[in-house]
Structure 1
Amino acid sequence: MNIRNARPEDLMNMQHCNLLCLPENYQMKYYFYHGLSWPQLSYIAEDENGKIVGYVLAKMEEDPDDVPHGHITSLVGNGGDEEEVGGGLGCSFRDHLGPLWGGS
C-alpha cells in the first residue's frame, strides 16, 4: 500500500470511495474546498495497482484567537486488508499531520 498526498486528478476516485463506504456523501465542491484550502492535509492510500483504497481529508481551524489545531473531517478505507488500510492510513496520517498541527 502506498500513501501519498492527494492530487486534483484523484478527486473523482476519492468521491467514488466515499459513495461506496459512507452513508453521508459529499458533493465534489467539498473535495475541491479541502484541496484548495489545505492541500497538504489530504492523503490517499492506493493498492499495488494504483487503485485508491482510502483517503483522509483534514483541515486547520483558522480562528486567530485560538490555539492552532486541526480536524480530520473524513477518513475512509475501502478494500484490501481492513487492518492494513485502517492501521496504515491512521498511522501515516498521524505521522504526517501531527507536526503540521503542532504535535509530534
Structure 2
Amino acid sequence: MADCRQSTLVDIVQIQNCNLHNLPENYSMRFYLFHYLVNPETTRCAVLPGTNKICGYVMSKIEEQVQNKKEDPHGNVTSVSVLRTHRKMGLATTLMKSVLRSLAEIYDSPYCTLHVRKSNEAAKHLYHCTLGYEVDEVVRSYFADGEDAYYMKVPTKREQFKHVCPEIEQLREVFRQKKAAEKELEKEKQGDGKGGLLSAAKRRKKK
C-alpha cells in the first residue's frame, strides 16, 4: 500500500508524468509550479513504500474568484490521477479525503468543487457515493474535446474532522496572518487614494 503525504517541489516532475500517463487533460510545468507555490498544502501524492516513486496525486487550490458566479472563496480540485497499476486500492479516496481536510482546517473552505466528465462513471461514483459530492450544474463543452462536465460540490466544514494536529494549527495561523496583512494593505491603498483626492479638492478650493 502506498503512503499518502503532502507533495514537495521535488515531486512536481513525477506528478506531471503521472498526469501524462493517465489523463487527457495535461498541463505545462509552469502550471504545476504556480499551482504548488500558491497552495502547497493542498497538493497530495501517493508514494510507494521504500521508494520515492509517485503512483497518484491530487492537486487542489483555493478559488478566490469565479467568473460569472457569485461564490465565496472555496476549495477546488484541479486534477486527480492514480496510475492504472495501483487502482482499486483506495488511493484516490485517501488522497481526496486528505485534501478536503486540509482545505477545511487550514483555509476554512466552506466547500470544495470540481469538474468531472459526464462519461467518467468511476470518478462520479468516487465523488458522489464515497465522498458526498453533489451535482450543482452541467457545464456544456467544458473539456477540450467538447464533452460536457458535471460541476460538483461537497461541504468541507472543519467540524467534520475530530482532531487538528499542531502542524495544521500553525499552517492555519500563517494563512490567517497572510490574509490579515493583505486586507491591511488593501485598506492602506484605498486610504491613499482617498487622501489624494481630498488633497486635490483642497488645492482647488484654495485657488
Tell me whether the two structures share a fold, i.e. TM-score over 0.5: yes
Instruction: Measure the CA separation in 2 of the matches of 1:86 and 1:59.
Output: 17
Q: Which amino acid aligns with 2:35?
A: H
Aligned-residue CA RMSD (Å)? 1.8
Instruction: Measure the CA separation in 2 of the matches of 1:16 and 1:75.
Output: 13
Determine if the alignment matches structure 1 residue 98 to structure 2 residue 104.
yes
SS at match of 2:64: coil
What does the per-residue CA deviation read over 1:9-40, in whole Å, with 9 as the maximum and x for residues that have no partner?
Answer: 11110000000000121110110111111111
Instruction: Measure the CA separation in 2 of the matches of 1:66 and 1:19.
Output: 31
Instruction: Specify which structure has the higher proportion of helix.
Output: 2
SS at match of 1:96: helix
Q: Which amino acid aligns with 2:73?
A: P
Determine if the alignment matches structure 1 residue 36 to structure 2 residue 41.
no
1:68 corresponds to which of 52, 64, 73: 73
8 Å contact from structure 2 (residues 63, 75) kept in 1: yes
How do 1:45-64 residues align onto structure 2 when only pairs under 5 Å count? 45-48=46-49, 49-63=51-65
Q: TM-score, normalised by structure 2?
A: 0.45
Match of 1:8 in 2: 9
SS at match of 1:33: helix
Instruction: Measure the CA separation in 2 of the matches of 1:86 and 1:41.
Output: 14
Percent identity of equivalent pairs: 32
Q: Which amino acid aligns with 1:77?
A: V
SS at match of 1:20: helix
Match of 1:86 in 2: 92
**Please, which moves more after superposition, 21-30 or 65-74?**
65-74
Determine if the alignment matches structure 1 residue 77 to structure 2 residue 79.
no
Q: Which protein has greater RCO, CA pairs closer than 8 Å, 6+ apart? A: 1
8 Å contact from structure 1 (residues 53, 85) kept in 2: no
8 Å contact from structure 2 (residues 44, 98) kept in 1: no
Instruction: Measure the CA separation in 2 of the matches of 1:25 and 1:57.
Output: 13
Q: TM-score, normalised by structure 1?
A: 0.85
Deviation at 1:90, TM superposition (A): 2.3
Deviation at 1:82, TM superposition (A): 2.4
Structure number with larger C-alpha Rg: 2
What does the per-residue CA deviation read over 1:74-93, in whole Å, with 9 as the maximum and x for residues that have no partner?
Answer: 11111324232222222222
Deviation at 1:66, TM superposition (A): 4.8
Instruction: Measure the CA separation in 1 of the matches of 2:103 and 2:22.
Output: 23
Count of equivalent residues: 103
